[in-house]
Structures are given as C-alpha cells and as structure tokens.
Amino acid sequence: MLFNSIEFAIFLPLVFVLYWFVFNRNLKLQNLFIVAASYVFYGWWDWRFLFLIAFTSFCSWGSGLLIDRYKSQPKKARIISTLNIVLNLLILGAFKYYDFFVTSFADVFLGGKTDGLLLNIILPVGISFYTFQALSYSIDVYRGKLEPTRDVIQFFAFVSFFPQLVAGPIERATNLLPQFAMPRKFDYDTAVDGMRQILWGLFKKMVVADNCAVYVDQVFSTYTEQSGSTLLLAAIFFTFQIYGDFSGYSDIAIGTAKLFGIKLMRNFNVPYFSRDIAEFWRRWHISLTTWFRDYVYIPLGGSRVSKPKVVRNTFVIFLLSGFWHGANWTFIVWGAYHAMLFLPLILLGKNRKHTDVVAAGRLLPNLKELGQMLLTFLLAVVGWIIFRASNIGEAWHYLCRLFSKSLFTIPWLDNRHYYVPVVLSIVVMLVVEWLQRSRDHAFDLSGIRSHVLKFGIYYVMLVALFWFGGHAESFIYFQF
C-alpha cells in the first residue's frame, strides 16, 4: 500500500479512529490491532510474504528469550545470537542476493550460463529494513543493552509497525519497543505536527520527486543520444528525486507515527547543505548509517585502531552499505566511491569537523560555506549517477559523455513549460529546508502564531499536491 494512494487515504483515518476510540482502553488489544493493521498494510502487495515477516519476528523474539535464559552461560548465549543473525541473513541473502552471486559466478566460470541455477523469486518489499530492525533487537539483548520482552504481541508490533515497515527509519529496539509497552495518550499538538510533516513529505514525494522522475527516466533511457549538459541536468534532477522520494517517505512515516503516539527517529537532516562528505553521511539515511556504525564499524575497532585497520573499517561499512541497497555492482562501486571520498577526512581527523548547523544564527552562508556545500553536492551528484545506472558500463559511459565538450551546450527539454513548476518546486523545497534547518523537520510551523498564515500555507501545499502531484509513483527505496 502506497502512502500516496487512495487506499492509504482511506486506510489511515480508519485505523486512526479504531486505534484511539475502540482499542484504546486495553494496551494489549491496541498493540494487537497495530499488528493486524500493519499486516494488512504489508500484505496489500503480496499476502504470501506475511509468513516471512512473521517467521523473522518469531525467531528474533524467541532468540531474545533464549539469550536471556542462558546469559549465565556466555558460550550458549553467543551461539543462539549467532544462529539468529545467520538465519536472518540467510533469508535476506536467498531473496535478495542469491541470483546475483550465481550470475556473477556464471559470468566468470561458466561463460554466463545460468540455466536452472537461478531462483527468479520476487524480492519482498522492505525485507532489508525489517531484517535489520529485528537483528538490532537480538544483538542488543545479547550485549545486555536491552531486557528481552516476553510479550510476543509487543515484539510483532515493533517489527511490523506499518508507518516505517517497508522503507524505514530502521528503528532500534531500545527506542521503539518500550513505546509499545507503555499506555499511549492522544496529544493534539503532536498529532497536528504529525499531519504537517505528512503534508511536507507528500509534497517532496509527489511534487518534487515524481515530476523529476519524468525527465530522469527519459534521459537515462536515451543517455547515448544526449548532450553532456542534458546528462548533468538529469543527474541533478535525480539527486533531488531520490532525496524527495526517500526523505519524503521518512517524513510521512514519522508524521504518521505521531498520530498514534509513537516517536520515530529522524532519518534525514538536510543532507544537501553538508560541507563535506562526512557531514553528508551524518545527515543522509541516518538510521542505516548509525546501524552500520554501531553494529559493524565500532565492533571492528572504529577509528581507534591502526591506520591500515581504519582504512579497512571505512571500506567495510561503505561497501556493506552499498551492497545493502541491492544486488548490483553499481551499488558496491557507489559505496567504494563514497569510501574514497570519506577516507581522507577520517585519516586527517576532520570527519567530525562539521557537526553544527551550517551558518548557525545567520540567514545566509558565507562564501566558504557556500563553496563547501556546492562541492559536496556535486560529489554526491556523481555518486548518484553510479547509483542510478543499470550497470557499471552504463555508469562509465554516462560519466564520459557528461564530461565532454557538449557539457557547455543548452540541455534538451522536450516541454519547457512543464519544467518551470518542477524547478520552482525544487527551489521551494530548498528554501523551506534552509530556513528550517535547525528544527526537527522542515514543516515545523510552531513558530508561526498567525492561524491565517498557517492555513494559507496549508492551502498552497494542498493546491500544489492536487495540481502537480498527479503521478502515483512507487517509492524508490521499496526495491531495497
């Protein structure tokens, strides 16, 4: 079920009413209702995959109880934790990576022949997200950071909570699970703030991302015929498309969770205003980058080891991050590209140089900050070309054609009048997020006291959605 669909527009109010007015008197029933609603939401695509998420949930919940039972016997607890991790990763690997490994092996050793070797199975929506979320629970229980829950309904609600089920944020059990253990009270101000964030997320997805996608798809499918300037414009449009699409989803998810009295972690924090790549990665897909930091990078020794190991650790997390996105060499190369950009900063001890808000206390950045942001943005654009390409050859040829003499020509636009509102929507998004960069989300209007002005803004946003948001495109990160 898509957030930007008629089905969800009916589903959400119905669930909201039942949640607060029918099941609100009994916490267990309220949690059970959340599980049921989440399974309906997830099963809307393919009900068969409900068995998979239920199996993953049950195994992780059971492993937590067994780890706690044998906590006085560290070897047994470690075996149980390891078995659960391996089981979850095997399931993820079978659905997401098996065909990739077989095809790669066949290309090298079998002349590309894969007859009878491929599974050709559909990738379950959001499997990488809920698998990592379930893994964080058993790992934290094993580490003693979290007491295991004996309430299976609470745990199933934690894994399957529908707002963030299929595209994050990837929540930690230490944050989300305790919220299902406590009675929740409706808070009007929080709900209104959630609705604002949903509205902003829909604007970024339906007005910015989906309209950018039209041009991006046209150019990438015919890139061999396009000029360098056209390829650059398409790459920039994709840079805003993937941001509007993914951060838009996160805004809708976080805002929807607020309607149910649940607080989710922030997943994006104005990443295109970053002054270097290290800052970019602290602000982009925060739930995934912190997951790899806490469960992979730090256990490997982080940056408190020898320089060769720091290099190893940096490449490990970026390559894993790339591979997490999908079974394609483009994602691995994209991860390696960012690792190479990140490495000089961490070796020179400058990876934590920019942890504050850019141009704090000022309306505009200075020339140095502006230059840093533009350079970081352009480096990200190059990375997104690799990410968007179908294969490595396409990415290479695209970049070669981009950096040619035709880069200095006028880009191709099939209907210039159509792209005026597209560019305008990007500008609006950037201006709003720049002005609101120090707030929890860009559409936090708590500082505006005039109700007339607030409702005027709501009206403009709604008009933009209905006028320019005619596409019901799927979210990009559903494929991951």
Active site residue 417: no
| Cβ contact 130:50 at 8 Å | no
Considering 325, 338, 354, 441, which one is annotated as catalytic? 325
For residue 9, what are the contacts with CB-CB under 8 A and spacing of at least 6?
none
* Intra-chain end-to-end CA distance of the chain, in Å: 16
How many angstroms separate the Cα of 129 from the Cα of each of 135, 298, 477?
10, 21, 10
Could you give the residue numbers annotated as active site? 325
